[in-house]
Structure 1
Amino acid sequence: MISLDRSTILQYKKFTEWTDTLQDVQESAWLQPIAERKASVGEIISHLKNWDSYLITTIIPAIKAGEGMVFPDFDSFNDIAYEYARSGISQNRLLDEFKLTRLQLVEILLAETEVVFKRVTVNGVETCPHTGTPYSLLYIIHEFNDHDKHHKNQILEVI
């Protein structure tokens, strides 16, 4: 069983301190794939922003309405984020949008603990098949922290 508490949310917030350093990534590298058939730094940031926005606009309202969490097909959802990163948005603006979205989400998570800790289903499943942990929004944030670390490591390898 994984221990989940307020520090999980604060860790999620802390990631923005690292993404602030990405303002220094050379513009020529911003939209270059980090490896063959992989996203670019800009696409990764857009992808993270998109998932945070999805939690704010779809997941949190669903939990408040007594429903489970439903996540879309990852590939097509991520493609939308990648397209946005390539749409002409500047590096600094995308980083700012990511940070604002992440901080907005963290503010909601810290204020609405009943939503955060409530046990819910994810795409109809009650517990994580890998850990056996009952699903909650806090557990998803824990998983997203691991997801952030994965992408941070990918980016650090190329910058």
Structure 2
Amino acid sequence: MISLGKETIHRYQALIEWTDTLRELDDNIWVTPIAEGKATVAGIISHLKNWDNYLIHTIIPAIKNGDGMVFPDFDSFNQTAYEYARSGISKNSILDEFKQTRLQLIELLLTEPDVATKHVPANGVENCPHTGIPYSLLYIIHEFIEHDNHHKNQILSVI
């Protein structure tokens, strides 16, 4: 499980290298919605950073306290990230914050494997309803890799 865990964590880290290439992205593309009614590239990166931050500051402490993982309402949580991206913060600042936050989370996962692999409920549910696999932070990270790839593909479709 630990080797699989490290593989998952390294896959999660791989997005950093790709997001670094966005520093060269035209500023107009950076702030244009990827589709009608959708987020901008800036908003997507801010959104990814906010979820990593949530794992660091809310989920990991909850697991350490013996509590389950509780996730907020996605729409309002994501809206906060999109608003931050529209606040006037620079492209490089958002990309730097994303990278720093993702590296901080990776470090925590690698140095505290017991926290990453401990079986804990997510919003009161013990096992993923789709796979039957018991929830853990590592399982959530595995799901977040798919989430990252979804957003990466959205961004690639507009650049």
TM-score of the two chains, using structure 1 as the length reference: 0.97
Unaligned stretches of 5+ residues in structure 1 = none
Cα deviation 1:77-116 (Å, max 9, x = unaligned): 0000000000000000100000000000000000000100
SS of aligned partner of 2:14 = helix
Give matches, 1:13-92, under 5 Å.
13-92=13-92
Aligned to 1:150: 150
Unaligned stretches of 5+ residues in structure 2 = none
Moved over 3 A (4+): none
Give matches, 1:72-151, under 5 Å.
72-151=72-151
C-alpha displacement of 1:129? 0.7
- RMSD of the TM alignment (CA)? 1.0
> Which amino acid is the alignment partner of residue 84 of structure 2?
Y
TM-score of the two chains, using structure 2 as the length reference: 0.97
C-alpha displacement of 1:23? 0.4
C-alpha displacement of 1:57? 0.3
Task: Report percent identity of matched pairs.
Answer: 69
C-alpha displacement of 1:4? 4.4
Is the CA contact (8 Å cut-off) linking 1:4 and 1:142 kept in structure 2?
no
